Amino acid sequence: MNPDRTDPLRARSAGFQEGSSVGGAVRVPGSKSMAQRILAAASIARGQTRLVGLPSSEDVVGALRCARALGARFPGGQRPDDPLALALLRSGAAGVVVGDPPTPRGAPRPWARLEPGESGTCARLFSALGALGRPEGSGSEVVPAGTLRSRASGPLFDALREAGAGVEPAGALDGWPALFTAATPPKSLELRHPLSSQEVSGLLLAIASHAGERHLRVVGPIPSRGYVDMTVQVLGRFGGSVRSEELVSDSPDESGTLFTIRGPLSAPSEAIACEPDASAAAVALVAGALSGGRRTWVEGVGTGSLQPDVAITACLQAFGCSVEGSGPDRLVVTGAPSRGAQIDCVGFPDLAPVLAAVAGFVACRGLGESTLTGLGTLPGKECDRISVLARGLRALGLEVLQGDSSLTVSGDSRGRGMEREALSLDPESDHRMVFFGALLSLFEPGIQCLEPGCVGKSWPGFWQDLAAAGGTLFTS
């Protein structure tokens, strides 16, 4: 049967037509980063956790599968591996998770097969829980999908081994698939030079599942530190406590952070609602800025959020947009970018694709040069994002200088006003590269993005939600 070409999730390609004007209030899904942390904590907490409005993204479905595999129960016959039947994934609906916390001297649990999908966050959080958040001797296997099979997490795997857990990756690299045999974490653990904040978050969750006080020493800088703050916030909702202090050393390689963690976790008395996703909000706000500059806003998430990507308003302000009206529970952007900017993305690397689209807009209109730095983690994502972004911008006829952790976007090498052939951008199965391509299509005619359905990883309703806000969608 031929796919329905009018459904962007099943179409060969999709984009927005010239003349689209996105604006007004834009609906975005709940934060998948927050949802995954909440589900991980709920799976190891004592009691029933009530949840409201989790997003229906593939990454969150992966977290539900992993929570269930580790022993969490979902009363009412809900099936975490069937998103169409799961009330937790229906916007505004409520559900309950009954955790399965580790017990001192408890018998090993049955073997668990954890399937995180293609989510690196989910794989790291639940690898740590499988290795240190279950009774000693319990076994688990983390089985990835897609590009996650080629990604590694060596510092996390080394930390789990040092803590006494059995760690058996299938390949030469410390990545997935991998087998874990659980151990009780010692009083003090060490993680050296993490590749991702998710490695720190996973260990914090696993340690907090146990009663008493323990320490985690992280040597070296923590990438995207704001996501660790999100994890600490979630642990606090479940009754855990985390204190941190900076460690100073004469050797820069030995400085870092000492975390003091106290557990165990218990389900909160109040239901937990998942706030809107700041990464999705950034896409919506940039869509408004690049398609005419109408006043565009997202409710329910704002400058008071711990999500690092709320930095989008400050970034767009640097490009010349107005952010008047933004506040603790609202993000607002008005106007089109009017100048180039230099943005350090080290704290919010997921904003790089939308900011690259803004840089492209500015360069296409001869408004200045832009540089994005702090992109060192991008090559290890679902694709080599720096390379894909550079390729897409060069296809517009722009001059792009690509570094190991930076992009500089400058003048239009075609010459102002010269026509360009229609473009089909390949996102290499990366949802954030589809967002990038869709944003380009809002201000440059003839652009369509292949694999439009891979937005299901984080925002299944992306195409329809932006169409409802004024984008004129086309598919093929």
**353 and 387 inside one domain:** yes
**4, pLDDT greater than 80:** no
User: For residues 95 and 169, which has the higher predicted lDDT (pLDDT)?
Assistant: 169
Chain mean pLDDT for the chain: 91
Q: How far apart are the C-alpha atoms of 370 and 354, rounded to whole Å?
A: 13
Residue written as tokens 């991998």? 178
Q: Cβ contacts of residue 374 below 8 Å, gap of 6+?
A: 344, 345, 346, 347, 349, 405, 406
* Cβ-contact 59, 32 below 8 angstroms: yes
Q: What is the pLDDT of residues 29-41, one digit of tens each?
A: 999 999 999 999 9
**216 and 347 inside one domain:** no
Range of lowest pLDDT (10-14, 120-124, 265-269): 10-14
**43 and 159 inside one domain:** yes
Given this model, what pLDDT does residue 1 score? 31
Residue 84 pLDDT grade (very low, low, confident, very high; cuts 50, 70, 90): very low
**3, pLDDT greater than 60:** no
Domain that holds residue 133: 32-273
**263 and 317 inside one domain:** no
**109 and 155 inside one domain:** yes
The last residue of a domain, from among 273, 300, 318:
273
Q: How far apart are the C-alpha atoms of 235 and 118, rounded to whole Å?
A: 24
Q: State what percent of residues in the chain have pLDDT above 70.
A: 93
Q: How far apart are the C-alpha atoms of 475 and 62, rounded to whole Å?
A: 28
Residue written as tokens 């009530």? 50
Q: Is 226 left (phi over 0), alpha (psi -120 to 50) or beta?
A: alpha
Question: Is residue 350 classed as helix, strand or coil in its secondary structure?
Answer: helix
Range of lowest pLDDT (89-93, 125-129, 321-325): 89-93
Q: Cβ contacts of residue 132 below 8 Å, gap of 6+?
A: 160, 163, 165, 182, 183, 184, 185, 203, 206, 207, 209
Torsion of CA 451, 456, 461, 464, to 10 degrees: 0
Reading the block at residue 39, the tokens are 């589900």
Task: Note whether residue 2 is domain-resident.
Answer: no
Task: Note whether residue 374 is domain-resident.
Answer: yes
**196, pLDDT greater than 80:** yes
Given this model, what pLDDT does residue 413 score? 58
**281, pLDDT greater than 80:** yes
**343, pLDDT greater than 90:** yes
Residue 85 pLDDT grade (very low, low, confident, very high; cuts 50, 70, 90): very low
Q: What is the pLDDT of residues 161-175, one digit of tens each?
A: 999 999 999 988 899
The answer, yes or no, to whether the previous bond of 110 is cis (omega within 30 of 0) is no
**296 and 386 inside one domain:** yes
**120 and 73 inside one domain:** yes
Given this model, what pLDDT does residue 267 score? 97
**403 and 453 inside one domain:** yes
**79, pLDDT greater than 60:** no
Q: DSSP string of 50-97?
A: EEE-----HHHHHHHHHHHHTT-B-TTT--TT-TTT-GGGSTT-EEEE
Residue written as tokens 């016959």? 77
Comparing CA positions, the residue from 283, 162, 265, 170 lying closest to residue 209 is: 265
**341 and 464 inside one domain:** yes
* Cβ-contact 475, 14 below 8 angstroms: yes
Q: What is the pLDDT of residues 380-435, one digit of tens each?
A: 788 899 999 999 999 999 999 999 999 999 986 555 455 666 789 999 999 999 99
**179, pLDDT greater than 60:** yes
Given this model, what pLDDT does residue 420 score? 63
**138 and 286 inside one domain:** no
Given this model, what pLDDT does residue 2 score? 38
Residue type, 325: G
Residue 242 pLDDT grade (very low, low, confident, very high; cuts 50, 70, 90): very high
**330 and 256 inside one domain:** no
Given this model, what pLDDT does residue 83 score? 45
Comparing CA positions, the residue from 129, 114, 137, 163 lying closest to residue 42 is: 129
Q: State what percent of residues in the chain have pLDDT above 90.
A: 78
Given this model, what pLDDT does residue 419 score? 62
Task: Note whether residue 100 is domain-resident.
Answer: yes
Burial bucket for residue 100 (CB in 10 Å: 0-12, 13-18, 19+): buried
Q: What is the pLDDT of residues 347-386, one digit of tens each?
A: 999 999 999 999 999 999 999 999 999 998 888 788 899 9
Given this model, what pLDDT does residue 10 score? 84
Provide the number of structural domains found in the chain. 2
Range of lowest pLDDT (20-29, 257-266, 376-385): 376-385
Q: Could you give the residue ranges of the DSSP H alpha helices within 118-259?
A: 120-132, 154-162, 197-208, 226-237
Task: Note whether residue 62 is domain-resident.
Answer: yes
Task: Note whether residue 386 is domain-resident.
Answer: yes
Q: What is the pLDDT of residues 288-338, one digit of tens each?
A: 999 999 999 999 999 999 999 999 999 999 999 999 999 999 999 999 999
H or E element, residue 178 = strand 178-181
Residue written as tokens 């939600």? 465
CATH code of the domain containing 97: 3.65.10.10
> Once rounded to an integer, what is the mean pLDDT over residues 201-213?
98
Q: How far apart are the C-alpha atoms of 241 and 72, rounded to whole Å?
A: 22
Burial bucket for residue 110 (CB in 10 Å: 0-12, 13-18, 19+): exposed
Measure Cα distances from 221 to 89, 153, 247, 258 in Å. Answer: 35, 16, 11, 12
User: For residues 87 and 67, which has the higher predicted lDDT (pLDDT)?
Assistant: 67
> How many Cα atoms sit within 13 Å of 334 on the Cβ side?
6
Question: Is residue 46 classed as helix, strand or coil in its secondary structure?
Answer: strand
* Cβ-contact 367, 412 below 8 angstroms: no
Q: What is the pLDDT of residues 440-475, one digit of tens each?
A: 999 999 899 999 999 999 999 999 999 999 999 999
